Structure 1
Amino acid sequence: MAEVKNTLYGQSVIADEDFTADQLNYLIDFAIRLKAQKVKGIFPPYLAHKNIAGIFMKPSTRTRSAFEIAAADCGAHFVYLDAQGSHISTSESIIDTAKVLGALYDGIEFRGYKQRDVEDLAKYSGVPVWNGLTDTNHPTQMLADFMTVKENFGHIKGINLAYLGDGSDNVANSLLIGGAILGVNVRIVSPKGYQPKAHSVKLANRFAKKSGSKIMITDNVKRGVKDANVIYTDVWLSMGVPESEITKRIHTMLPYQVNEKVMLETGHASDGQLIFMHCLPSYHNMQTINAQKIYEKYHLEPFEVTDSVFNNARYARQFQEAGNRMHSIKAMMIATLNPKKF
């Protein structure tokens, strides 16, 4: 029997639109199998003797942990690099960095700001590069998200996913594009001025024509969440939001807060066909320094989701989702660095 070709081998993961539906479904199914292997204590050396660099221009909990553990599980060695402990961006350009790291490592992860930086790393390094987050894309989050959807519903195609909040951010963009590729009915429910860019909507609609996905961009919460199976949100005040915009943002976003009323308006609050997801970290109570500072200065609670939803075992899947970052990243690294199809 002829060996099935791994179409992801040697490929970089730069933007959500770089995937085909078959590739995404393969990675998600492979990640689920890898998760089952880990539960059983099985750790095949898929990436033995591989060296991986992780560039972190932004701080990270889940992305860094996921890459480091995934690499270790597969027999690879992971090296953490940031702006303070390296020459990246300050005294060495991204292009020069790409050429240096490409000569030393088998793969490079990048978590930073400009999409152009991760594109240049892929272009000039000569090795697979993985986008761990930029201002416009978050493909490794998207993989974990749809892995979590499949684990909860048994399928992805035809699921209704409503994202509430800032629809112009990287997570919303990745859900929109990735969901359209996979046949998910994606609703971006956001106030005017915070909706996805026209280019992203056009791209999503192009993919939707092939997959059968139905795309909705709306500022009407009731319309957007009706029949939703997944309610998803992200922080309103992500890294880099100017202090001058904080009050305006919170007031603008408050009608898009995920609360019990929103969950009830889906029509699935009591039939087991509804979950809540969040890429984390989250403002859902006053137990973080940043939330306390915002309240003390502006007398506003920056809660994109209420504590009652965030900690409701019936809906809440955000910690399952966070754990799946590691399994899906592991699948992605193996598929792009190992020529075999597992």
Structure 2
Amino acid sequence: MKHLLSISDLTRDELFEILKLAEKLKEERYRGIVTDYLKNKSLAMIFELPSTRTRVSFEVAMSDLGGHALYLGWNELQLGRGEPIKDTARVLSRYVHAIMLRVRDHSTIEEFARYSSIPVINGLSNLEHPCQVIADLLTIYEYRGDFRDVTLAWVGDGNNVCNSLILASALTGMRMIVSTPENYEPDSGIMQKARELGGEIIFERDPVKAVGEADVIYTDVWTSMGQEGEKEERLTAFKGYQISDELLSRSKDDVVVMHCLPAHRGEEITDEVIEGKHSIVFDQAENRLHAQKAILLKLIGKENEVY
């Protein structure tokens, strides 16, 4: 048994096994093959923060694999009335086979994992978003066929998705260029860990220079959940970091653009780009489903039944 709290919880081999499995599961779904790899298995999904893609992809993933998912709102549980996290973790461990959490603070997921006797999955925290990034890697692989010759430029806020991508780039051999305004850089500890893993992480303040050699340009919202009070300050700080046709003209002709959604069109990315020929945003969103299936099978399934 193993938790997935961070991309760095996976070895390079484990990460590629998940991607290979996701490819197989995607093909099976397209061919209409019905499976029951997770028959009689249950997933508890705890949401402190709202979600579209995380909730639907995990719920459909469990259903497609013959299992069952339970949606549990934070305030619908005794957690919302002050029950200790460690008590909830130990009780749920006796009811279900895995727990996925989407929470504000990464420390919440770490505490759940400490007291849980079943796998705990990080569906989003303020520090990392590993499930999103596994779907991103699947998408990049589909479009580029490899990681070793890929340069990914992150333009915008150095947030949780950026942190997980930095670690993922180190595991896959991608070259990553990070471009953020001052005071909005990714987590320094994450950067250090990625470099220790052998990652080539380059910081470039100027977004025009950052995208010049990019095969993939990735952005996310400038104001995440819980930061609404900083919106005006952030809009000022991120001026010039928008993914627009003008910025794309400074990159390669075949560059692809990614965004983990939801997007604030007209802020971090223009409507023209997200709807344009370079966008692979909706393929990326679809791959959340296939990646989630692979993660679940890796943690609570029987791999010999799948391959």
Q: Distance in 2 between matches of 1:322 and 1:203?
A: 28
Report sequence identity in percent. 34
Question: How far off is 1:68 after superposition?
Answer: 0.2
1:232 matched residue in structure 2: 218
* Counterpart-to-counterpart distance in 1, 2:88 and 2:212: 48
Partners of 1:83 and 1:281 lie apart in 2 by 21
Q: Is residue 269 of structure 2 the alignment partner of residue 305 of structure 1?
A: yes
1:121 aligns with 2:107: no
Q: CA deviation at 1:308?
A: 1.1
Q: Contact 2:75–2:81 at 8 Å: present in 1 too?
A: no
AA aligned to 1:259 is S
Which of the numbers 12, 27, 32 marks the counterpart of 1:36?
Answer: 27
Q: Distance in 2 between matches of 1:157 and 1:22?
A: 15
User: Deviation at 1:339?
Assistant: 3.6
For residues 273 and 224 of structure 2, what CA distance do their matches in structure 1 show? Answer: 21
User: Between Structure 1 and Structure 2, how many residues are aligned?
Assistant: 305
Where does residue 321 of structure 1 map in the other structure? 284
- For the pair shown, the structure with the greater C-alpha radius of gyration is 1
- Mapped to 2, the partners of 1:198 and 1:334 lie a distance apart of 32
* CA deviation map 1:308-340 (0-9, x unaligned): 11110x211111111100100100000111242
Tell me the equivalent position of 2:249: 264
Aligned partner of 1:263: which letter? L
Letter in 2 for 1:95: K
Structure 1 counterpart of 2:66: 75
- Paired residue secondary structure (2:141): helix
Question: Secondary structure at the residue paired with 1:187?
Answer: strand
Out of 227, 232, 257, the residue aligned to residue 241 of structure 1 is 227
Partner of 1:251: 236
Distance of 1:31 and 1:337 partners within structure 2? 15
Deviation at 1:89, TM superposition (A): 4.4
Query: Secondary structure at 2:62's aligned position in 1?
Result: helix
Runs of 4+ deviating beyond 6 Å: none
Q: Unaligned 5+ residue runs, structure 2?
A: none
- Partners of 1:340 and 1:85 in 2: CA distance: 34
Q: Say whether 1:219 aligns with 2:219.
A: no
Match for residue 88 of structure 1? 79
Give the whole-Å Cα distance in 1 for the aligned partners of 2:122 and 2:96. 16
Which stretch has the larger CA shift, 218-227 or 186-195? 218-227
**Pairwise CA distance, 1:223:** 2.0
Are the counterparts in 2 of residues 115 and 134 from structure 1 also a CA contact under 8 Å? yes
Structure-1-length-normalised TM-score: 0.87
Distance 1:323 1:116 in 2: 29
What SS does the aligned partner of 1:308 have?
helix
Distance 2:247 2:241 in 1: 9
Q: Which residue of 2 aligns with 1:45?
A: 36
How far off is 1:103 after superposition? 0.7
Structure 1 position 19, deviation (Å)? 1.1
SS at match of 2:94: helix
Task: Tell me the distance in 1 between the aligned counterparts of 2:235 and 2:148.
Answer: 33
Task: Give the counterpart letter for 1:283 in structure 2.
Answer: H
2:37, 2:302 within 8 Å by CA — same for their partners in 1?
no
Structure 1 counterpart of 2:181, which letter?
Answer: P
Question: Residue in 2 aligned with 1:97?
Answer: 88
